[in-house]
Structure 1
Amino acid sequence: MSKKSKIIELFLTVGIVVGLGACNNEVATDEVSPANAEEISAEGGEGGEGEEYSEGEQANADFKDKLAGEELLSALQQGGHVIYFRHAQTERDYADQVKADVNNCSTQRVLSEIGWQQAKTIGEAFQGKEIPVGKVISSEYCRAWQTADLAFDQYEKNSDLNFLPFEDYTDEQVAQMKENVTPLLIEQPESGENTVIVGHDDIFESATGIYPDPQGMAYVLKPDGSGNFELIANMLPDEWSKL
């Protein structure tokens, strides 16, 4: 999704966006208006986003599905896939990993009302389409495990899906994130099941070169059993119910 599209999306949600802090069940609000939508969209993503397409953003825009519609649904119903979700939409999109405490939701971005609905919509589609889910693995950030919990009613936290505590990564730090996440992407699910991973943008990009955008986007991967995987399709939250 382009920066312009992100701004349009913000215009459509002008007013008070309600976020629920899962740790203390308190309601938080964040006001977004056309006057500050451009400013918010330019603040940077979880690893920092620029005004122009990065290589990862371009790869995301250029990606072509290998399976879609009924063919994709049939493949998913047979299992054997890893489905990597970038967490659902948050109140604002900015890099919080430098100062965030993964054990304290109040130090992190939290899901917006839209994000909560996205997660529920995804879960309802998986149930309705009878897509089998085995393990559900989440980063330790609240927005990730909240997405997993709302969609699939289960999750196990794994710190290998966490950001390194920097906003601008060196090549060595990107390589470290790739080393952390790749074993999860290449592990074959149990027979007849799909593994769901809920993580973050830069983590996925480190292993694939693709920056998953917008929030809530998923990529379907097929591990080959030999330490590699094939990227099969990407999906937006509302596309699962249309398979």
Structure 2
Amino acid sequence: MLPHFLIWAVTTLPALGAQAEENAEAWDALRDGQAVLMMRHALAPGTGDPDNFDLDDCNTQRNLSEEGRAQARAWQPLLNIRGISEARVFSSQWCRSMETATAMDIGDVKAWPSLNSFFSNRGDGAAQKRALIALVNELEQGLPVILVSHQVNITALTDVFPSSNEGLILALPLSENPEVLAHVTPGD
């Protein structure tokens, strides 16, 4: 693990530069419980899910590639550098999201159906968005909060179309139109 971290540090830290300073207040807000990190799962090639999709069977889903697994693992060193060594992690039940959340290795992962993709059933989007906002706003103060979800969910909440493995630091309390404090990825 240490050599991987060193490789990441040597290749990533110089790139943090001005953008790191620009996002310092957002990272402080996340660390201090005044914001949450909502991110799209790491790279899982393709779009949507196969016709035979079964939530309980990862073999029927679009899953992380090797590159996606490496992307997910890259979050831990970035979060550690930002002073976050442990977090409350909530994830969509989709295998690619759960695998992203678990590979981050920053805390126990709890499945939240309100983070599940509604790509195939967009009629559920508004209700799911309201449920997510309520759940997040009901959380008690404590460790930082990380939400792992899908592009469609993040776009519905924020009007941002995130790339795979991109995160948004969102000000609390969440609202129907939350304030985006920063766009972040481990490569930033």
CA contact (8 A) 1:80 1:189 kept: no
| Secondary structure in 2 matching 1:238 | coil
Q: Aligned residues, how many?
A: 168
Report which of the two structures shows the higher radius of gyration computed on alpha carbons: 1
Please give the alpha-carbon distance, in whole angstroms, between the structure 2 residues aligned to 1:182 and 1:217.
20
Amino acid corresponding to residue 203 of structure 1 in structure 2: N
Q: Give the C-alpha shift of residue 149 in structure 1.
A: 0.5
Partners of 1:132 and 1:189 in 2: how far apart? 19
Of 178, 201, 204, which residue of structure 1 is paired with 2:129?
Answer: 178
Q: Of Structure 1 and Structure 2, which has the larger fraction of its residues in helix?
A: 2
Q: Which has the higher contact order (CA 8 A, sep 6+)?
A: 2
**Is 2:141 the counterpart of 1:190?**
yes
Q: What secondary structure does 2:180 align onto?
A: strand
**Hey, what does 2:5 align to over in structure 1?**
none
C-alpha offsets along residues 128-183 of structure 1, whole Å, 9 cap, x if unaligned? 3312543210010111011111102420011111123726x3xx433233233222
Aligned equivalents of 1:164, 1:228: Cα separation in 2: 19
Q: Tell me, yes or no, if structure 1 residue 237 matches structure 2 residue 181.
A: no
Name 1:142's counterpart in structure 2: 95
Report the alpha carbon displacement of residue 225 of structure 1 after superposing the two structures with TM. Answer: 7.8
2:37 counterpart residue number: 83
Provide the rounded CA distance (Å) in 2 between the counterparts of 1:131 and 1:119: 15
Q: Which has the higher strand share?
A: 1
Structure 2: where are the runs of 5+ without partners? Answer: 1-18
Partner residue in 2 for 1:96: 49
1:97-116 paired onto structure 2 within 5 Å: 99-116=52-69
- For normalisation by structure 1, the TM-score amounts to 0.60
Please, which runs of 5 or more residues in structure 1 have no aligned partner? Answer: 1-64
Which segment is superposed worse, 216-225 or 195-204?
Answer: 216-225
Deviates more, 1:113-122 or 1:77-86: 77-86
Contact 1:80 1:190 in 2 (8 A): no
- Once the two structures are TM-superposed, the CA of residue 224 in structure 1 deviates from its matched residue by 3.2
TM-score, normalising length: structure 2: 0.76
Give the CA deviation at 1:126.
1.1
Provide the aligned C-alpha RMSD in A.
2.7
